[in-house]
A = this chain, B = another copy of it.
Amino acid sequence: MDDPRTVAEAGEAAVLAVLRGDPPPVDDPVGNGDDAAVLGPSAATVVSTDMLVEGTHFRLDLTTWRDVGRRAVAQNVSDVLAMGADCTRVVVAVALPGDTPVGRVAELAGGIHAEAARSGAVVVGGDLTSAGAVVVCVTAMGPLPDGARPLRIDGAAPGDRIALTGVPGRSAAGLALLLAGHADGPLQRVHRVPVTPVGSGTAARLAGASALTDVSDGLLRDLSGLARASGVAADLVTGDLPGDPRLAEAARLLGAEDPEALVREWVLDGGEDQGLLAAFPEGVDVPTEFAVIGRFRAGEPGEVTVDGAPCTPGGWDSARSPGYR
């Protein structure tokens, strides 16, 4: 039954109970409900934190509370995968306006727990506060086995192959469709909740990748970032990029003057697809979920060419990007 009360009417204990939900049992020394969670032994622990802000990252008229929760978890899980680990635990801090109906909090919590479960993770703690806008801050954690080398962003070497999971551009196309009033569809769903490549971070590590990151700010921008950190340049081959015919369809539906250019922009500069971008040395078997899309070479650190032409990355700047406003 939908709780008819608002968050302010129900009070902290009741709302925390809704947020906490009924998570699966864990064998941690201390789970949810104490001052802090206590995780069990680990040789190394990957930790990432990320904040999702209403108005900047989502609008509640274009998405659902459930998808906000799923996306908040997904984008953090993605960062843990990008170190070559699996995500096993998350803690979630939530800020809500006092007039939020408790039923919406239940949907948010449902999304948080569902996406955690999809990723193989459990929510072990959180925080609740009031604010003028909805804010969800997730911290995701995952263990690395004893002796495992984390996949850093700065390990690519000249000659390594550039490889990517997933199809870039879908999230950006989905956002464009949403903003134009097309409320639903497969691209819109990718924008609302990116599909994190669960297991692919570990697969890349076991296969012998030399570097790994996730694509959250745009393919070119994140590729350039990985190349810069590694002190190499990168040559991208667009013909080798996994494509989706729905991108061109979306560009036409939106009445783009140059649909091909718009698709290219989505693919190269659109962020938040949360694919994994890896460097694999020559001679290493690239896991099947990765498509080889170019090669790193000696050169100006961070320089990126696309089909041989130098290219300046666009993409998302978190200090600058106005989001939906």
Residues of A within 8 A of B (CB): 7-8, 10-12, 14-16, 29-30, 33-53, 55-57, 79-80, 82-83, 89, 91-96, 98, 124-133, 135, 137, 139-141, 144, 146, 150, 152-154, 212-214, 229, 317-323
Contact = CB atoms under 8 A, between A and B. Distances in A.
Contacts of A83: 30, 34-36, 38
B132 A133 contact: yes
Q: How many copies does the complex hold?
A: 2
Contact of A35 (B95, B131, B133, B214): B214
A11 to B, nearest CB: 5
24 contacts: A12-B319, A29-B144, A30-B83, A30-B152, A34-B213, A35-B48, A36-B47, A36-B80, A36-B82, A39-B45, A40-B44, A49-B137, A51-B95, A51-B129, A53-B130, A53-B135, A55-B131, A56-B130, A91-B139, A98-B319, A98-B322, A128-B319, A130-B318, A137-B137
Contact of A48 (B57, B91, B150, B322): B91
Contacts of A140: 36
Contacts of A35: 48, 79-80, 82-83, 153, 212-214
B41 A130 contact: no
Nearest to A127: B50
The 9 A-B pairs at the shortest CB distance, nearest first, are namely A36-B48, A137-B137, A35-B82, A139-B139, A51-B93, A12-B319, A53-B131, A49-B91, A12-B318
